[in-house]
Each structure stands twice: as structure tokens, then as C-alpha cells.
């Protein structure tokens, strides 16, 4: 339950399976937050090594497809938290932001 005094408020989700993320987005929307945030930035090994969090930066087409499905699933703004890249040799933030913008993500927060 979200109380009016807590607004504006966002709920963040992360995962590596598009259909599961669509379902999570629908559940989030029922709570009526101000926005839904997708975590494409978590570097924790147990998360990233499964292709979730920052791990999705190794598969930009999947990252874009997942974001697109989430944006289509909900009527609230969708934002993304991400990183400059998977590592110092694979900084692709401009491509990441363009792909996210192209599918309707409203804002991106970037970890350096």
C-alpha cells in the first residue's frame, strides 16, 4: 500500500525473463506508484551473472525488447537505472539510452 504522503514514489523491478518482467510490471501498476523503474544497473554477481541487472548490458537487443514490453504493459512512466557499460572496455551508454528512448522509456539514471 502506498500512502499519499509518500508520493511521488517509484517501484523498481529487475529480472532476466521478459514474460516474468511483464507480469511484475502489471503487479507494480496495480499498486499505483508514480513510476516504474527497471534495474539494468545492479552489479551483484548473483544478479548480473544470470543476465539481470547490469548483466543485461551484454545483450542490448534483449534489454530493448524487455523495456519495450514493460512500457507496453503499463500506463505509468517507465524509467531505467543502468551503468555506463558492462566493464571499461564495453561502454555503450549512448546506444543503451537511444534504444531505451526508442521504446518509450521516460528517463534514465546512469551509474558512472
Distance between CA atoms of residues 49 and 68, nearest Å: 22
Which residue in the list 42, 80, 96, 100 is annotated as catalytic? 42
Q: Is 49 a catalytic residue?
A: no
Counting Cα atoms < 13 Å in the Cβ hemisphere of 90 gives 12
Q: Nearest CA to 56 among 11, 18, 110?
A: 18
Contact yes or no for 41/54 (Cβ under 8 A): yes
**Preceding omega of 4 cis (within 30 degrees of 0):** no
Q: How many CA atoms lie within 13 A of 25 on its CB side?
A: 27
Active site residues: 42
Amino acid at each position: 500500500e502506498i500512502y499519499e504522503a509518500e508520493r511521488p514514489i517509484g517501484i523498481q523491478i529487475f529480472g532476466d525473463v521478459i514474460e516474468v518482467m511483464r507480469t511484475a510490471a502489471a503487479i507494480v501498476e496495480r499498486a499505483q506508484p508514480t513510476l516504474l523503474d527497471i534495474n539494468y544497473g545492479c552489479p551483484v554477481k548473483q544478479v548480473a551473472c544470470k543476465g539481470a541487472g547490469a548483466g543485461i548490458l551484454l545483450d542490448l537487443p534483449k534489454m530493448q525488447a524487455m523495456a519495450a514490453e514493460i512500457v507496453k504493459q503499463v500506463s505509468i512512466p517507465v524509467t531505467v537505472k543502468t551503468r555506463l557499460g558492462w566493464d571499461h572496455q564495453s561502454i555503450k551508454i549512448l546506444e543503451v539510452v537511444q534504444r531505451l528512448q526508442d521504446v518509450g522509456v521516460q528517463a534514465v539514471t546512469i551509474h558512472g
